[in-house]
Structure 1
């Protein structure tokens, strides 16, 4: 006879969900409601040459505008992450693909946001006829192009410097390519990727104004958002509206830090590649709340079987690659054929480019663009040297000292995320009243957007140095320059190179908005390639847009090939843990 058992009074009194679950459910509902409210504004009808309703400078509209801009930023970040994982993996795993993808990444990184907008706005509008989604997609794509290159370089470099003993262990255990990717490669790259994603997100704010107040090919399109609000405030010389916008962006940055980045940093600490735990792990009140709730674990249990099925399926599609001896003669012949084909392609592109230049702008304009590029190159080099000397020691100190990190990380995140071009109007007023030439002032403006790449990568590199190595260095009495030479420089070198190459690309990109600044009817223009491209883009001068972007690409790719790529090779062969 079956006996029926009843739950105890204690079990009956135990609630299935706690206060943490209630808070999470309410927070999720509020977030979904906000996304629905803000996203509804992207679905209105729009047919060029119609004009999108102008931005209203009443501060009451700022929360809505901030929501529109923030939603674009997160959609661009999601797309950037997908691109990073796919592109970086292919470039790191396929030697032939790497020869094309990495130089292509150099070129794409060097193309300014305005260059992408010039090409893509019309295409996106045609892709979504009769809807504002076309302009929204163009804006998101512009933000994507300001975020993605830094993340991709970081992930690629992390895959190239996976610790050899872990790589050997993966081979011994016959892990499939999918298992290696999820169990070894992504976890080993997680800390650097996360810090670079934070930097990329902050860098995206730098180009929000350009992506929302679009002026290309003699046509102007304006989307509601913080960037277009600031552009309108600058055009009308409205300091009050500009002040309200700065206050709102401060609130947005603090909220994103507390609700998004801080929990991710605390969660990613488990991916540190070391045998001993960190002295003090990063903390997040939101992550503690999620861990205290029961709902996330219940949802995870429901989806665990599905995840296992997906993992088994993907593992079966990506079996372990067999270890076989490569025929060196065949490899050399194949490489020569590949190099010949690549040279033919490059030669054809150069001939086509030269023909285009000669029949449109002429050779004199080419020399002018080359000279302007040298001026911008000088500013970039000054910025890189100054940023490395100032921010590398600070980044190492933050990465090594948990108490200092807890104190300064919010400050650093705020400074990096704050869109520097939002304070350009104040800088412009200062330059005008102090009689400072924009040729020198533009270096400061460029640094406001580019220097953080070096700082964030220095922090990530210092945090990735195992605690046991740092303790051993202290035990043997390493300090001062000897500590830097024996531990810190080798430990952070790979990350610093990633920061340097992305800071270089970011500085070239930032020159577009730093070499020509305005306040109302007053415009200051520096002598440089960035101002040349900005003026050509505003005028819709396609030949000069193409020449300027092509010349900037040549400078960036040349610098990367002659300098940064050699440092990458040094990091892969000598200076990595």
Structure 2
């Protein structure tokens, strides 16, 4: 047998196997589904009308799935290029890492009006709204993928980097054979979280208004939002069940096969426990059609890329060096600086229009939201660490709980919030407690999936060693789990905090059945400013939130990243 880089075992060829039947059935089903959706697609979309009919759900789900796929492709390409640039070039890191902090800290719903209105100036309204929707989903997916790749690139075991240097790997071979395999588990788990985050913000991406301007798109998110707005619980349940069906299908057809494939990249020298399994992966591994595709298309393509991109004369350097800047690079930076200075001047001019009372509201809102974010993070850490370790170290348990975790992470909390709001509204602390709960629902999954990825990457021999030494309970956590999980926990916490700040916009200012419920918080200030089209207040609140999150990242989280890089890397 031969094994290609794609990771599938190519067996001796029988005529056809049941795996081939699965491939052909999937192709036939895709053709049939496309034809059915095309027949049910409305010929004319009259503005923002969203049908709550059950017959519209398949078409809406297909549209949302396509938007999610486009956003994820952009997110993955961005994360790989951005994170590797920051990890390999110390000078670039000083710019890119703070910029990533800013990007992941900007509330998604704050800058979407600017993006949307700008696009409508240069593009047809329909195209502009679609692009804005994809951009919004992209911003809910990209940042934690980039943080995960950056953390992996900075914590690659030293011996692997030295081996790459000995073999004179260039950038392409280093990425292909060292960095990407080492980061595979983290990227896959964070990709699962990316889709969960995309589903979470799908309602906002497809159902957006700016003042008197109404931008809505047909899709599953707009279906759920419309059902929640009018209080149609029957349609809301149908929409949630459709979403759950999509999540389960993606888990079985995409994520479980990828996790089974990624088992080959674990840093283990002994036989471990039963690896993650997937019936789809097993079927594809024994498929003659797939093996022929790999031999005839995939392998030649990879070889062509190897010949084109690998430079054997450019050996790897363990520490990246900044290249000397050319004149055009200096010109680009100069023009960028001029544009940035002009933008800051216009922003200051906009902010001076705010009254003192508006600034006081922003300050009090910032303190209130910070306390809620902290509470959500503490609660999330208390349960994601033990459950993440259990799932990550026990494949059989993972096979059961992973799909459930994906479903729970992917169901938009804003769709369930009316139920939560009705339950807590008349209790002490009503909306404040509900806001913390919704922020928790929007952030805890970043921690859980990163902890699962970290626990899955712990070499089996380390766990066997702790068993031989008789370490149990707190001693095992202190010596093995907490140090091994530290880099992944930091990555998850950073993105979880960013998710909590973002979720504050929908958690602190809620509209249900025609009634608006709001509490003190900077998220409520941003949501109210967006609804009223008050751009000075929107800009000021967004800027204050960004500065607060970036300051926390610079003073606290970056130091933990440096500690993870220096002390808690597998060697």
TM-score by length of 2: 0.90
User: More deviation in 469-478 or 312-321?
Assistant: 312-321
Is residue 2:471 matched to residue 1:472? Answer: no
**C-alpha contact 1:357 1:363 (8 A) present in aligned 2:** no
Task: Give matches, 1:233-382, under 5 Å.
Answer: 233-303=227-297, 304-316=299-311, 319-321=314-316, 352=345, 355-356=348-349, 359-382=352-375
- How far is 1:366 from its partner? 2.8
**Deviation string for 1:175-216 (max 9, x for gaps)?**
111100000001100101111111111011111110001112
1:122 pairs, out of 106, 117, 124, with 117
Q: 1:122 to 1:162 in 2, by over 3 A?
A: same
- How far is 1:427 from its partner? 1.2
Task: Give matches, 1:148-547, under 5 Å.
Answer: 148-303=142-297, 304-316=299-311, 319-321=314-316, 352=345, 355-356=348-349, 359-434=352-427, 436-547=429-540
- How far is 1:512 from its partner? 0.8
User: More deviation in 500-509 or 315-324?
Assistant: 315-324
Match of 1:20 in 2: 19
Q: Give the Cα–Cα distance (whole angstroms) in 2 for the partners of residues 399 and 325 of structure 1.
A: 33
**C-alpha contact 1:201 1:417 (8 A) present in aligned 2:** yes
Q: 1:184 to 1:563 in 2, by over 3 A?
A: same
- How far is 1:277 from its partner? 3.6
Q: Give the Cα–Cα distance (whole angstroms) in 2 for the partners of residues 324 and 178 of structure 1.
A: 16
User: More deviation in 196-205 or 496-505?
Assistant: 196-205
**C-alpha contact 2:165 2:317 (8 A) present in aligned 1:** no
**C-alpha contact 2:108 2:139 (8 A) present in aligned 1:** yes
Match of 1:93 in 2: 88
- How far is 1:463 from its partner? 0.9
Q: Give the Cα–Cα distance (whole angstroms) in 2 for the partners of residues 109 and 323 of structure 1.
A: 29
- How far is 1:26 from its partner? 2.7
Q: Give the Cα–Cα distance (whole angstroms) in 2 for the partners of residues 104 and 364 of structure 1.
A: 31
Q: Give the Cα–Cα distance (whole angstroms) in 2 for the partners of residues 268 and 345 of structure 1.
A: 46
User: More deviation in 534-543 or 360-369?
Assistant: 360-369
Match of 1:9 in 2: none
Q: Give the Cα–Cα distance (whole angstroms) in 2 for the partners of residues 59 and 310 of structure 1.
A: 47
1:52 pairs, out of 47, 51, 60, with 47
Unaligned runs of 5+ in 1: 1-13, 332-340
User: More deviation in 400-409 or 192-201?
Assistant: 400-409
Q: Give the Cα–Cα distance (whole angstroms) in 1 for the partners of residues 35 and 171 of structure 2.
A: 38
**C-alpha contact 2:18 2:283 (8 A) present in aligned 1:** no
User: More deviation in 404-413 or 31-40?
Assistant: 31-40
Q: Give the Cα–Cα distance (whole angstroms) in 2 for the partners of residues 22 and 108 of structure 1.
A: 45
Q: 1:305 to 1:245 in 2, by over 3 A?
A: closer
**C-alpha contact 2:168 2:312 (8 A) present in aligned 1:** no
**C-alpha contact 2:435 2:507 (8 A) present in aligned 1:** yes
Q: Give the Cα–Cα distance (whole angstroms) in 1 for the partners of residues 34 and 478 of structure 2.
A: 50
- How far is 1:23 from its partner? 2.5
**C-alpha contact 1:428 1:518 (8 A) present in aligned 2:** no
- How far is 1:43 from its partner? 11
User: More deviation in 403-412 or 255-264?
Assistant: 403-412
Q: Give the Cα–Cα distance (whole angstroms) in 2 for the partners of residues 205 and 211 of structure 1.
A: 10
Q: Give the Cα–Cα distance (whole angstroms) in 1 for the partners of residues 563 and 319 of structure 2.
A: 27
2:141 pairs, out of 122, 144, 147, with 147
Unaligned runs of 5+ in 2: 1-12, 325-333
User: More deviation in 112-121 or 314-323?
Assistant: 314-323
Q: Give the Cα–Cα distance (whole angstroms) in 2 for the partners of residues 325 and 157 of structure 1.
A: 16
- How far is 1:33 from its partner? 5.3
Match of 1:3 in 2: none
- How far is 1:348 from its partner? 5.5
Match of 1:559 in 2: 552
Q: Give the Cα–Cα distance (whole angstroms) in 1 for the partners of residues 14 and 143 of structure 2.
A: 48
Task: Give matches, 1:29-68, under 5 Å.
Answer: 29-31=28-30, 34=33, 52-68=47-63
Match of 1:573 in 2: 566
2:103 pairs, out of 99, 104, 108, with 108
User: More deviation in 149-158 or 256-265?
Assistant: 256-265
Paired positions, count: 547
Runs of 4+ in 1 over 6 A off after TM superposition: 39-46, 322-327, 344-347
2:76 pairs, out of 54, 78, 81, with 81
Q: Give the Cα–Cα distance (whole angstroms) in 1 for the partners of residues 513 and 77 of structure 2.
A: 40
Is residue 2:133 matched to residue 1:134? Answer: no
Q: CA RMSD in A?
A: 2.8
User: More deviation in 395-404 or 534-543?
Assistant: 395-404
**C-alpha contact 1:38 1:68 (8 A) present in aligned 2:** no
Q: Give the Cα–Cα distance (whole angstroms) in 2 for the partners of residues 309 and 141 of structure 1.
A: 33
**C-alpha contact 1:457 1:499 (8 A) present in aligned 2:** yes
- How far is 1:506 from its partner? 0.4
Could you say which structure has the larger radius of gyration? Answer: 1
**C-alpha contact 2:141 2:195 (8 A) present in aligned 1:** yes
SS state at 1:72 partner: helix
